[in-house]
A and B are shown apart, each in its own frame.
Chain A
């Protein structure tokens, strides 16, 4: 079936540095999402993105976060600067915007901020 890819699978970074998480969504999908899951907690919605714009964001989407998808390439989540509480697994998802609007998820990027 359709697959969402995420690069890298793991990232270790020092607090205060910048990190970019990359997502290769399902081809021809138009809507893109990031979710955050801290160990032992539920997965939480961060942001969704359509037609080059953020449509909706949660209170977890801090000012240090930004998203973009330049020229149909990777959909990225950038955190600058990183904080210890940013350590989590970040899941990317995409959907076509048609029918039942199923969101297809990637395998996640585990981010560790030291």
Chain B
């Protein structure tokens, strides 16, 4: 079983709308989460990290973490065509720089005009 699971696999959202998707870890050792975004032909790029319970907002992006359930969500407000990409959730046991990340399969977001 994959240790980091994402849902849905894909979603379509109108331009200006809200995109929301989820990530759950089955490993209680994973307490630190990242959201990465990957555009076609490029490597993943970090959007934000979230290590504490509750919400974290950066611009149009808001992440929410529930440590008890190891559930993380990402919400994109006022979605733009440039937000069309593959979004990965990644988790680690520690928040330090040495550790490799465990990735989910990703959620593909399409923003249509």
Contact = CB atoms under 8 A, between A and B. Distances in A.
B55 interface: no
Interface of A: 4, 6, 31, 33, 35, 41-48, 50, 55-56, 58, 91, 93, 95-98, 100-108
Does more than half of chain B's interface fall in helix, strand or loop, or is it mixed?
Answer: loop
A2 to B, nearest CB: 10
B46 A102 contact: yes
Interface of B: 2, 4, 34, 36, 41-46, 49, 88, 95-106
Contact of B97 (A42, A47, A98): A98
Contact of A42 (B41, B46, B105): B105
B2 A56 contact: no
Contact of B98 (A43, A50, A91, A100): A50
30 contacts: A4-B43, A6-B43, A35-B100, A42-B4, A42-B103, A42-B105, A42-B106, A43-B44, A44-B102, A44-B103, A45-B100, A45-B102, A46-B100, A47-B100, A48-B99, A48-B100, A56-B100, A58-B100, A93-B43, A97-B97, A101-B95, A102-B34, A102-B46, A104-B45, A104-B46, A105-B36, A105-B43, A105-B45, A106-B43, A107-B42
